[in-house]
Structure 1
Amino acid sequence: MKANHAETPDGSSAADKFKWFITILLLAVAVVGNSFYSETFNVVIRTAGVVVLIAAALGVAATTIKGKAAISFAREARLEIRKVIWPTRQETMQTTLIVLAVSIVMALALWGIDGIMVRLVALATGA
């Protein structure tokens, strides 16, 4: 039995917790370093450093159990998106015009009902 694979009650291993700590540490170094060296280094150098640190953090996070699950989910979502039958331009325009027309009709109907209600309340209160 290896110590790295000892499961904790929440389902994560000690190695995963260490990897998440490293991920958070890398992100913190990116944020603090960018802020701390704002006057010292050029924007291009700081941006490159932040990008490298974020990429490293994502790389470490991708090796955890939750990171692998997230990558798997993203791949499955991508496959599902490919199965979607997207509407044509004509279908999109027709649907948009229908929604616009219904919205205008409902706005006019509600405006009319509101006007009637205001008059009824004014009659009832004598105002």
Structure 2
Amino acid sequence: MKANHAETPESSNAVDKFKWFLALVLLAAAVVGNSFYGETVSIVIRAAGVIVLIAAALGVAATTIKGQIAIKFAREAKIEVRKVVWPTRQETIQTTLIVLAVCVVMALALWGIDGIMVRLVAFATGV
């Protein structure tokens, strides 16, 4: 027979806080260790150490409640991205050319309006 061990929100919250603290300590160790051993240890070893510590920090953070929610969100986002209908190359090129044409037309229109406004202000002020 299985025993139900339901954690109280307080104890779960305390465990999560500890896990987040541990993840931050691991990240700080990666930064400080990389800085501290910058002169004496090979770049390859330091890079490997930083990667291992960051992976460990992410692993610890992933075991928290918010970490699990973030992982679930990322999985759902990946599924939604698969549902997107991406434009064809021709559609992309046509849309890009339309945007460029509108930008050029608007730039010329604003340049013309600016020129007119400068002349009007110069005429009104007598400069």
**Could you tell me whether the CA contact under 8 Å between 1:5 and 1:14 is conserved in 2?**
no
With CA pairs under 8 Å and 6+ residues apart, which has the higher RCO, 1 or 2?
A: 2
Q: State the SS of the aligned residue for 2:9.
A: coil
Amino acid of the structure 2 residue aligned with 1:32: V
Residue 15 (structure 1) aligned with residue 40 (structure 2): no
Looking at structure 1, the residues matched to 14 and 119 of structure 2 have their Cα atoms a distance apart, in angstroms, of 71
Instruction: Specify every segment of 5 or more residues in structure 2 that has no aligned partner in the other structure, as ranges.
Output: none
Q: State the SS of the aligned residue for 1:40.
A: coil
The residue that corresponds to 2:99 in the other structure is 99
Instruction: Specify every segment of 5 or more residues in structure 1 that has no aligned partner in the other structure, as ranges.
Output: none
Residue 55 (structure 1) aligned with residue 23 (structure 2): no
TM-score, length-scaled by structure 1: 0.90
How large is the RMSD of aligned CA atoms in angstroms?
Answer: 1.6
The percent identity for this pair of structures is 74
Looking at structure 2, the residues matched to 74 and 6 of structure 1 have their Cα atoms a distance apart, in angstroms, of 27
Looking at structure 2, the residues matched to 38 and 123 of structure 1 have their Cα atoms a distance apart, in angstroms, of 66
User: After TM superposition, where is structure 1 displaced by more than 3 Å over at least 4 residues in a row?
Assistant: none
TM-score, length-scaled by structure 2: 0.90
**Could you tell me whether the CA contact under 8 Å between 1:26 and 1:53 is conserved in 2?**
yes
